[in-house]
Amino acid sequence: MNLKEQAAREALKFVQSGMVVGLGTGSTTKFFIEMLSEELKAGRLKNIVGVPTSQSTVALAESLRISLAGVEDYEMLDLAVDGADEVDPQLNLIKGLGKALLREKIVETHAKHFVVIADESKVVEKLGIHVALPVEIVQFAAGAHVRWLNTLGCAAELWLEEDGKPAMTDNGNYLAKCTFKDGISDVHILAAELDSYSGIVEHGLFLDMAQTVIIGKENGPEVKTKK
């Protein structure tokens, strides 16, 4: 079992029959959704409803015959399980390199318990050290939004696909990537600046959201909880 699978297996311990579960997006969460389906087919879990965070997750869950609903159908979800691109010592995250950050943040904000699953390569002392921060922007005046992002101490660029076309989210928005040479100095200040700008729909800083982070390690999973 690889480290991503190991973390996904540990996350299943948080699932109980009858729960409404937010289903994240990405390679690590794919393992979790497949394992959840196995538990349902075996009858070890029953009456689970999934709330997907992307069209790709919808397709996967439907192919595995997991019942789905929208986040608007429930006041609160019992649980949300998703991956992360980076995790810092305070359990703050960079997410969204799977292009689903807005829907992920909406679903996970509505969960009573947000569990993050990742392998040990995602653990960092400072966010932005290894990966770019994704930012979802409106198509209108996209170049101006990217230019403004470059004033924040990063190298920002429009996220382009291999064919040269702008990367598009399920919401019909563009994405920018912001690279910080030495990591992000203050994630809360940066998040506040990003939240204040009109052309930005959402950003990949998931701060003070995760209650539990499960890290897959060679000697077994490590479970970290918010203090």
- Count CB neighbours of 111 within 10 A: 23
Judge whether 104 counts as a catalytic residue. Answer: yes
Which residue in 10, 104, 136, 202 is the catalytic one? 104
Q: What is the distance between the alpha carbons of residues 122 and 82, in angstroms, rounded to a whole number? A: 13
| Of 85, 52, 56, the residue nearest 70 (C-alpha) | 52
Query: Strands, DSSP E only, in the chain?
Result: 20-23, 49-52, 67-68, 79-82, 86-87, 93-94, 114-119, 133-137, 155-158, 174-179, 200-203, 205-206, 212-216, 222-225
- What is the set of active-site residues? 104
